[in-house]
Amino acid sequence: MKRSDIVLIGFMGCGKTTVGMLLARMLSVPFLDTDERIEQIEGMKISRLFREKGEDYFRDAETGLIEELLSGQQERVISTGGGMPLRPVNAGLLKDLGSVVYLKASAGTVYERLKGKTDRPLLAGSDPLGKIRMLLEQREPLYEAAADIVVGVDQKSPYEIADEVVEAVRECRARKKVAAATEKGGETE
Ligand code: S3P
């Protein structure tokens, strides 16, 4: 069965969780955060998971979780960890969940939002802005490729972003419906 979740992807600090919770409230559907769910399953914080079991273990947990979510029934808003779409297999599975929305933030915005925080193991060390710039440059093409929709978030409030996402998802679903109907019509000709 094709699912109709709204899946938020994007770099650390782009607002996936905040916007996701807001969207879920606006649409009256459940909200799920993949990092939070993995922390529940593993019984520890992501930073400790990275330290004790390593990044590969965490990435496998992300893939396992997405596979599990495909069997759910109800429509949901799902916010994902910033590395979720990097594995090609995950990018494909996310698309199967529904509309994938990339919340696109600049390095400056991410830095401002995360400075002083210590819960992102990939940004630990002496030059977080440099790390953000480097990772963002590597990841941006992958986020773009994994997304159905791109919404810029710089200088916008979570409410403005959530409104834009709702509108864009509506248009995207309508486009997909037309494409599916056209394809179906073509099959019977
Ligand atoms: C990661 C992002 C984090 C978390 C982990 C790895 C990444 O989630 O999954 O620290 O690779 O970008 P947020 O995007 O919610 O910070």
Identify which of 63, 65, 122, 131 to mutate to test ligand 1's pocket (most ligand atoms within 8 A of the CB).
Answer: 122
User: Does 99 score more than 70 pLDDT?
Assistant: yes
> What pLDDT sits at residue 175?
87
Residue whose C-alpha is closest to residue 38's, from 19, 57, 18, 51: 57
Find how far residue 145's CA is from the centre of its chain.
Answer: 13
24 C-beta neighbours (distance < 10 Å), count: 20
**How confident is the model at residue 7, as a pLDDT?**
98
Q: What is the pLDDT, as a whole number, of residue 163?
A: 98
- Taking the alpha carbons at both ends of the chain, their separation in whole angstroms is 25
What is the pLDDT confidence band of residue 165, given thresholds at 50, 70 and 90?
very high
SS3 for 119-131, per residue? CCHHHCCCCHHHH
Task: Write the pLDDT tens digit of every residue in 34-84.
Answer: 999 999 999 999 999 999 999 999 999 999 999 999 987 789 999 999 999
Q: How far is the CA of 168 from the centre of ligand 1 (A)?
A: 25
Atom of ligand 1 nearest to the CA of 139: 12
Asked whether the predicted pLDDT for residue 187 surpasses 70, the reply is: no
Q: What's the pLDDT at 1?
A: 53
Q: HSE of 185 in the Cβ direction (CA atoms, 13 Å)? A: 6
Q: Is the pLDDT of residue 189 over 70?
A: no
User: pLDDT at position 183, please?
Assistant: 85
Percentages helix, strand, coil for the chain, rounded to the nearest 5? Answer: 60, 10, 25
Q: What is the pLDDT of residue 111?
A: 96
Mean pLDDT of the chain: 94
Query: pLDDT per residue over 126-151, tens digit each?
Result: 899 999 999 999 999 999 999 999 99
- The pTM of this model reads 0.94
* Residue 123: half-sphere exposure toward Cβ, Cα within 13 Å: 23
Mutating to test ligand 1, I would choose from 9, 11, 12 the residue with most ligand atoms within 8 A of its C-beta, which is 12
CA angle 162, 164, 166 (to 5 degrees): 70
Ligand 1 pocket (Cβ < 6 Å) reads: 12, 16, 35, 46, 81-83, 120-122
Mean pLDDT throughout 118-124?
Answer: 88
Ligand 1 centre to CA of 9 (Å) is 10
Count the neighbouring beta carbons within 10 Å of the beta carbon of residue 106. 17
- 188 vs 152 pLDDT, higher one: 152
Measured from the CA of 135, which atom of ligand 1 is nearest?
A: 12
Residue 188 pLDDT grade (very low, low, confident, very high; cuts 50, 70, 90) = low
Nearest to 55 by CA among 83, 78, 80, 88: 83
The answer, yes or no, to whether residue 184 has pLDDT greater than 90, is no
Q: Quick: pLDDT tens for 149-163.
A: 999 999 999 999 999
Top pLDDT among 108 and 175 is at 108
Torsion angles phi and psi, residue 103, rounded to 5: -90, 105
Give the count of beta carbons closer than 10 Å to the beta carbon of residue 3. Answer: 18
